[in-house]
Chain A
Amino acid sequence: MPEKTMRDAINEALHQAMEQDDSVFVIGEDVAGCNGSAGDVGSVGGVFGVTSGIYNRWPDRCVDTPISESAIVGAAAGAALVGMRPVAEIMFADFIGVCMDQIVNQMGKFRYMFGGKSRCPAVIRFASGGGFSAAGQHSQAMYQVMTSFPGLKVVVPSNAYDAKGLMLTAIQDDDPVLFFEPKILYQETAEVPDEMYTIPFGEANFVREGDDVTVVAFGQMVPKAAAVIDALGEEGISCDLIDPRTTSPLDENAILESVQATGRLVVVDEAPPRCGLTADIAGLAADKAFSSLKAPIKQVSAPHSPTPFSPELEAAYLPDAEKITAAIKATLA
């Protein structure tokens, strides 16, 4: 099976979805690129190249916009309300700050407020997360915040294979979907089939299977946790590694069944700890699997701080192998 990067896997999903359905279009800043300039229109394909080649095939369905995030999300929401399937790009997840209303109060609530009589099949893509020394306004995960809003579905792929299948599911889904692409993983490769396939939302992936500890990790923390678990295997410690893949809906059963089997839980996420996914999953287990627990639940997250710039500081900020290892061992102490 061919190896592809996560960037190429998502790009392939977009191309295939647009081939299949002419109601699909992409919209955002520089999704084509070079409009109005001396350069070749379409030669950018998004700052991370994820929409590469789309303009050249479907110029009418590759819509470059001004830097106007509220208008981008609003345009996607409005087009979706009248039956299109837009895939909008918000360059960095941090920019949710300037289009929160259109995401949360508008597209996320249409169906409910309108008594179930509307559908809003829009996908909003975001490059998300830390690891680039991109500092405080270009490094946040943000999916943990958006998970708290009913009406939105939230996807966080951790590898190229899942990214393609989840994107194709997202585009076909009739509810609004927020699709967070951990940008540190864009160049990571996996085996990705050429044909179209979907991965259901709300179905976690067991990345590793083991008996001693349940580890739940999100996005870019999944490969980090997998590496730790592989190393701990050498020491005779075996872990389940659960990648929920979608944080809304969340595959609660997969997590609870694993915790009931292992009796130990470590939750790993790159976002700060308060009101985040590590606390959310810990709360779930404490509520519904308390009697199975043999040790306190451990949460591994960034500290309650903005993302710092300096590489040394960011390395200290993001959860790393050392912290994940320590947390797993702490549950076994």
Chain B
Amino acid sequence: MSIPKETLLHSYRSMKTIREFEERVHAEIMNGQIPGFTHLYTGQEANAVAVCAHLDESDTIISTHRGHGHCIAKGADVSGMMKELFGSSEGLCKGKGGSMHVADIDKGILGANGIVAGGPPISVGSALAAKIRKNGKVAVSFSGDGSVNQGTCFEAMNMAVVLQVPAVFVIENNYYSEHTHIDYAVGCDDLKARTEAFGFPVFVADGADFFAVYEAAGKAIAHARAGNGPAGVFAEQGRYHGHFVGDPQAYRGEGELDDLRENHDPLKVFRQHMATSGDLSEAELDAIDAEVMAEIEQSVVDAKAAARPTPDQVTADVYIQYGATA
């Protein structure tokens, strides 16, 4: 599989950006600088980035409560996201949405989403629009292993098959629905078979390996884009942090997190691939690291200095226009 160098550079930068963004957000939450509920994507970076590497700006994604990574991978403005998390009126959503509702429609980001499996039905709508307009676009919904037990996920998968729309269901299995393991919460032994029983192909990949996810997502997205109906991607990879920031993670086995960070780090795995293939040099990767760290640092400086919303903004943007519309 040959991946253009530009794609490799961009993808590594995106993964590193997600990593630094999430780790910095974690630190700022611990410092009491970021309010609300936040769910971090650290460890799962390859999933979002490898999927979005196959999309252009007018393809859409819809995300989850753990959405920062998907939004960055699809091109959301990092500084605007950081300001949003800090609750600034200069944030991407003017401080109205916060961590769980980052969105940028112009970039094809139909939003992070605070409701588990809230996204798949909406993504089917975007895919239906693409089918009606015959414009060759695809609609990707990211959701987790928790979402696969929600009725909305079933409804969306079935309807996507019935309507034969270009919807791609990316299921990120990080093994835990909040504090409950997938072995308990998914009643069947073979989730891939259960999902494929809806009537579309599912491609499984090791979510720690960008190249594995890239290949699986490439097949799924090509299938959908060619007009063959929906497809699925299962990316299996644990998260480094708890369900939410502050989660004591009582469900973790001994050594589980150490193993994850040591042996299943998507950034390390990517660098190992590059060391073997020689496609990108260590110096190129190090340069990206330095640039990203500076960018994230600046985003925090900017977020802390950014304007705060004023009370008069509470009722802004509830409607485009309310009252008489003659």
Contact = CB atoms under 8 A, between A and B. Distances in A.
Interface stretch (B105-113, B260-268, B293-301): B105-113
B129 A66 contact: no
Given A70-B151, A202-B323, A75 B96 contact: no
A112 B316 CA distance: 8
Given A113-B93, A116-B316, A117-B104, A71 B322 contact: no
A78 B118 contact: no
Given A113-B101, A198-B326, A74 B156 contact: yes
A15 interface: no
B319 A118 contact: no
B115 A78 contact: no
A210 B125 CA distance: 48
Nearest to B315: A150
A115 B318 CA distance: 9
A86 B131 CA distance: 14
A111 B139 contact: no
B159 A175 contact: no
Nearest to B163: A63
Contacts of B129: 78-79, 82-84
Given A78-B139, A249-B323, A71 B97 contact: no
Contacts of A70: 121, 151-152, 155-156
Contacts of A112: 96, 317-318
Interface in B99-152: 101, 103-106, 110-111, 113-115, 118, 120-130, 132, 139, 151-152
A71 B96 CA distance: 26
Interface residues of B, number: 52
A115 B132 contact: no
B94 interface: yes
Given A116-B94, A116-B316, A76 B125 contact: yes
Given A106-B118, A111-B319, A84 B106 contact: no
B118 A175 contact: no
Contacts of A81: 60, 105, 110, 122, 125-126
Contact of B92 (A83, A105, A115, A169): A115
Interface in A80-100: 80-84, 86
B320 A174 contact: yes
B121 A71 contact: yes
Nearest to B101: A113
A27 B62 CA distance: 21
A77 interface: yes
Contacts of B94: 115-116
B140 to A, nearest CB: 12
Nearest to B89: A115
A72 B162 CA distance: 12
A198 B326 CA distance: 8
A225 B144 CA distance: 52
Contact of A101 (B92, B95, B152, B162): B152
Contact of B122 (A60, A74, A173): A74
B91 interface: yes
- Scoring A27, A80, A111, A116 by chain B CB atoms within 10 A of each residue's CB, the highest score goes to A116
Nearest to B134: A60
B277 interface: no
Given A25-B132, A115-B91, A169-B325, A175 B162 contact: no
A111 to B, nearest CB: 6
B305 interface: no
Contacts of B324: 200-203, 249
B158 interface: yes
Contact of A71 (B60, B110, B152): B152
A27 B165 CA distance: 14
A66 to B, nearest CB: 6
B125 A114 contact: no
B114 A105 contact: yes
A112 B314 CA distance: 10
B321 interface: yes
A329 to B, nearest CB: 34
A203 B323 CA distance: 8
A218 interface: no
A33 to B, nearest CB: 15
Contacts of B158: 66, 68, 71
Contacts of B121: 70-71, 73-75, 77-78, 102
B115 A115 contact: no
Contact of A114 (B111, B139, B321): B111
Interface of B: 60, 62, 91-97, 101, 103-106, 110-111, 113-115, 118, 120-130, 132, 139, 151-152, 155-156, 158-159, 162-163, 316-326
Cβ-closest 3 pairs across A and B: A74-B121, A78-B125, A116-B317
6 contacts: A81-B122, A82-B110, A115-B91, A116-B316, A117-B103, A175-B320
Given A74-B120, A75-B122, A81-B110, 16 more contacts: A61-B132, A71-B152, A71-B159, A72-B159, A77-B121, A77-B125, A78-B60, A79-B126, A81-B122, A82-B126, A84-B129, A111-B318, A114-B103, A116-B96, A119-B320, A175-B321
